[in-house]
Amino acid sequence: MSVLEIRDLHVSVETDQGTKPILKGVDLTIRTGETHAIMGPNGSGKSTLAYTIAGHPKYSVESGSITLDGEDVLAMSVDERARAGLFLAMQYPVEIPGVTVTNFLRTAKTAIAGEAPPVRSWIKDVRGAMTDLRMDSTFAERNVNEGFSGGEKKRHEILQLELLKPTFAVLDETDSGLDVDALKIVSEGVNRAKENTGLGLLLITHYTRILRYIKPDFVHVFVAGKVAEQGGPELADRLEDEGYDRYLSDAPVA
């Protein structure tokens, strides 16, 4: 078993108006095999947490820690984080001119595993995962993120998740912009990855919709940069009925 631990994490972002504190003491422990949903209103800092785990340079950790089996994640480069077993869906959001999906995936797999995957089994794995995600085979020869639709970007993320087999994955708003059919396909892919590799999953979402397909073991409600409440799946059901009003009424507006 592996553990990803976030302790009293304070993070700020550089803006034109100066340094703005966003995360104000986040504590979270995720073990492999567990799915944690982070839910919360817009602007509560959910993506900031994801970017901080990813090592995005715009976000400064003021205090606190993130460790993976005791190793200091914050001291790792973005590449080192990937090699340590962290998968961050927003890690490669940009177009990569001239790099096809096939070559990108193979390069990423080689970097993470420390050696190139055997060609035959690799091609079989890629084709299998693409078929499962109902992706046309021509997708493999397209350049990464070039002209990808919202749904294609999400499927490409889950394709990476299935093939790179991380220990922990952070998925930020994977449900956004997906119609119900695409959401089901993408969720099935996430669930396959969970079953096949026993990964730990941090599923960030504003809406409860995706949690019908990917069942969380724990739900954390994020408000104004910290966890305001945590519970089991029943907490998501309550949020579905009640929304976030109860948290916002007594929270100062940032």
Amino acid in position 156: H
Least CB distance from residue 42 to ligand ADP, whole Å? 4
Which partner, ligand ADP, Mg ion, none, binds residue 13 by CB below 5 to 8 Å per kind?
A: ligand ADP
Tell whether residue 47 is a contact of Mg ion (CB under 5 A). Answer: yes
Tell whether residue 42 is a contact of Mg ion (CB under 5 A). Answer: yes
Tell whether residue 58 is a contact of ligand ADP (CB under 6 A). Answer: yes
Least CB distance from residue 43 to Mg ion, whole Å? 6
Q: In the chain, what's the furthest Cα-to-Cα distance?
A: 58
CA angle 37, 177, 221 (to 5 degrees): 20
Instruction: Considering the complex, state which of residue 42 and residue 138 has its C-beta at the smaller distance from Mg ion.
Output: 42
Which span (18-26, 36-44, 101-109, 155-163) binds Mg ion, by CB under 5 A?
36-44
Least CB distance from residue 227 to ligand ADP, whole Å? 12
Show the binding pattern over residues 7-36: x = contacts ligand ADP (CB under 6 A), - = does not.
Answer: ------x-x----x-x--------------
Instruction: Considering the complex, state which of residue 1 and residue 254 has its C-beta at the smaller distance from ligand ADP.
Output: 254
Instruction: Considering the complex, state which of residue 20 and residue 127 has its C-beta at the smaller distance from ligand ADP.
Output: 20
Show the binding pattern over residues 37-56: x = contacts ligand ADP (CB under 6 A), - = does not.
Answer: ---x-xxxxxxx--------
Least CB distance from residue 134 to Mg ion, whole Å? 27
Binding site for Mg ion (CB under 5 A): 42, 46-47
Q: Which residues bind ligand ADP (CB under 6 A)?
A: 13, 15, 20, 22, 40, 42-48, 58, 254
